[in-house]
Amino acid sequence: MDYQKTLSRPVFFEGIGLHTGEYSAIELLPAEENSGILFQVEDKTFECSIKSVCDTLHNISLCFGDYKIMTVEHLLASLFGLGIDNVIVRIVRGSEIPILDGSSKVFVERMLEAGIVKQKDKKNYFYPDIEFYFHKNEDQYIKFKPNDRLVIDYEIEFDVIGREHMRIEINEDSFLREICNARTFGFIEDAEILRKSGLALGAGLDNVHVYSRTERRSLNESRYSNESVRHKVLDLLGAIALFYPRIVGEFIARKSGHFVDCKLISMIYDEYM
């Protein structure tokens, strides 16, 4: 029988924000059954949902009144992948979740070290019974199809990186083995443009898998032969985690991204909630 889960004790994370470049710190706190994911900012607590999304430019940002919290996707994917249903994300300092190593690896390791506990109530699952489709253009789209398992079929294509494809059934084991270590990626040639726009101010070789179009290669070592598409799966899980109860079905993404992913999740929310 599948029961809800939370953390056994608080877990603290600190580092810099990928986009702000500023010091940020958060603390994850255990939460009661059926709480879902909550954000606590300056002693005010807010429910986290797809309707909280206010920005999808190179990250998923959530807005709660006057508060904006950037780059939540890697943390949310970690909670989803570990099957943690109920948690309070307390913003200790800053306006962005720490990027750490650019993947979910550190989040996952520390949460597992702290311990995850089963709670009394059963997990809540949601099985949409119709198909959904959203496209940005004919090459960039995402589909949802009913399925009794959570399956992600993702394909990307970038200069230098080439075409990468992955189809995976998501569960705790596959998330830990295949997805959580995949880092966010980008191109060194885009860095200056992003920084002039106020983004990627904390990006570096220690937290981004960096490619060079000029040199036609990766500038730091790959963790997987197809690390980029694995990270795109991780990002999509971060968007899926914004829907409560937990969605079960098949997602088919082609050259998708934060904007497209969140639009589809929002369409499912609007249809049923």
Question: Which residues belong to the active site?
Answer: 258
User: Is-contact 132 260, C-beta < 8 A?
Assistant: no
User: Is-contact 123 132, C-beta < 8 A?
Assistant: no
94: left (phi over 0), alpha (psi -120 to 50) or beta: left
User: Is-contact 34 4, C-beta < 8 A?
Assistant: yes
Say how far apart CA 142 and CA 232 lie, in whole Å. 12
- Residue at 70: amino acid letter: M
Q: Which of 198, 200, 199 is nearest to 210 (CA)?
A: 200
Q: Which of 57, 87, 66 is nearest to 75 (CA)?
A: 87
Planar angle of CA 125, 69, 168, nearest 5 degrees: 40
Say how far apart CA 49 and CA 41 lie, in whole Å. 16
